[in-house]
Amino acid sequence: MANWYDLNGALLRIDAEDEALETPLDIYLEELRTDALDETTDFTLAIARGQPPSPPAEAHVLFKGSVPEAEICILSSHGDRRWFFIPNRISLEYSISERSAQMVAAPGYEWFTGATAAIQAIYAALCATGQALVHAAALSVPGTNEGFILFAPSGAGKTTTALALAVQGFGLLTDDAAVVTDRPTAKSRVSVWGLPRPPKVHRRTAEMLPMIGRLLGSKWNSEGEQSVSKNALKSVIDFIPGRSFPLSALILLGNRVVGEHRLEPMRKADLLIHLAKDNISRSPLGVLNDDLERFQRFVGLVASMPAYRLNVGSDLSTLGRTIAAAFMADQATLSA
């Protein structure tokens, strides 16, 4: 079976032996499914069931450790090819230059195709089509056709801040997986969109945002989080993953403060350092070519965009007004 997915104008084809192998990827791709208008495909992912092959002996180990779904995972590289391998569970081999990937899941472990291996495959497809996956939230500004990216380390309150803004009328593109592309628009040479995966909401976020808390059940994972379904989320906010917006600003989330919110210009070099630390992998072989290309894209991105630091204050309900006022002020400056 074959299905096609629209990655902001780039066509991803997935060839799977059966539905059970492809369905786990729906958490990221379901809303991007499209009809194939022609035979042109920008990236192909083949998924089969069987004994996952290990990386070849000549491959260099880039990482060996645990991932959320397994204690032992190996990421290897040789030339342009990469391997993601969990022994007796799943393997993924991909080449960005050849625009193709092959995934093999062991019988009984079909759900692994939608875990870390899926992110690796989507990363490869985006790189191959001139786009960059960024660990960040992204939102659109009400009353405009513009978007911004919200950066923060894991656990710093990125999802809480993004959902608080969404409750106040901002469009939520993603809380954690933004994609930037250099395809120009009338307003910006860079645009942003988000992978359509459901946010994970922490207990504290649910308490601070009752509108979101009412969408959740009673079962929490070991980290005190649970996913909120995309359909439930759409019933209370404007959740619009997959749609791109001209990018107008980059915002780094700082520490919480008492009193008023603070949104102030920051040094672009500082923002670039955070962006690189959170998104560029370093291995025993150094920084690999695809990550070097992503870093160069980040340099251009930061150089071309206004950069701000946001310190969220005491009253979350007024945060939206602070952000919207800053965008209106920027527009007034540009129009003057």
| Tokens, residue 165 | 């803004």
Residue that is last in its domain, among 129, 155, 186? 129
Judgement on whether residues 47 and 181 belong to the same structural domain of the protein: no
Cβ atoms of residues 169 and 238 within 8 Å: yes
Judgement on whether residues 211 and 228 belong to the same structural domain of the protein: yes
Return the C-alpha torsion angle 38, 29, 33, 246, nearest 10: -80
Judgement on whether residues 106 and 157 belong to the same structural domain of the protein: no
CA atoms of 150 and 248, how far apart (whole Å) = 12
Residues of the chain with confidence (pLDDT) below 50:
184-187, 332-336
Confidence at residue 284, expressed as pLDDT on a 0 to 100 scale:
67
Residue that is last in its domain, among 83, 100, 129? 129
Judgement on whether residues 207 and 77 belong to the same structural domain of the protein: no
Is residue 306 exposed (0-12), middle (13-18) or buried (19+ Cβ within 10 Å)?
middle
Domain span including residue 24: 2-129
Judgement on whether residues 161 and 190 belong to the same structural domain of the protein: yes
Judgement on whether residues 121 and 248 belong to the same structural domain of the protein: no
What is the value of pTM for the model shown?
0.90
Judgement on whether residues 163 and 296 belong to the same structural domain of the protein: yes
Judgement on whether residues 273 and 304 belong to the same structural domain of the protein: yes
CATH code, domain with 305: 3.40.50.300
Judgement on whether residues 295 and 211 belong to the same structural domain of the protein: yes
pLDDT per residue over 220-276, tens digit each? Answer: 988 889 999 889 999 999 999 899 999 999 999 999 999 999 999 999 999 999 988
Judgement on whether residues 102 and 236 belong to the same structural domain of the protein: no
Judgement on whether residues 115 and 168 belong to the same structural domain of the protein: no
CA atoms of 108 and 274, how far apart (whole Å) = 40
CA atoms of 60 and 76, how far apart (whole Å) = 5
Residue that is last in its domain, among 107, 129, 151? 129
Confidence at residue 329, expressed as pLDDT on a 0 to 100 scale:
66
- Residue owning tokens 């230059």: 97
Confidence at residue 332, expressed as pLDDT on a 0 to 100 scale:
46
Number of domains in the chain: 2
Confidence at residue 185, expressed as pLDDT on a 0 to 100 scale:
47
In order of 7, 58, 72, 110, 245, the CA distances from 88 in angstroms are: 31, 20, 11, 12, 42
DSSP result, 267-323: -HHHHHHHHHHHH---BTTBS-HHHHHHHHHHHHHHHHS-EEEEE--S-GGGHHHHH
Confidence at residue 9, expressed as pLDDT on a 0 to 100 scale:
87
Amino acid residing at 73: C
Confidence at residue 336, expressed as pLDDT on a 0 to 100 scale:
37
CA atoms of 112 and 110, how far apart (whole Å) = 5
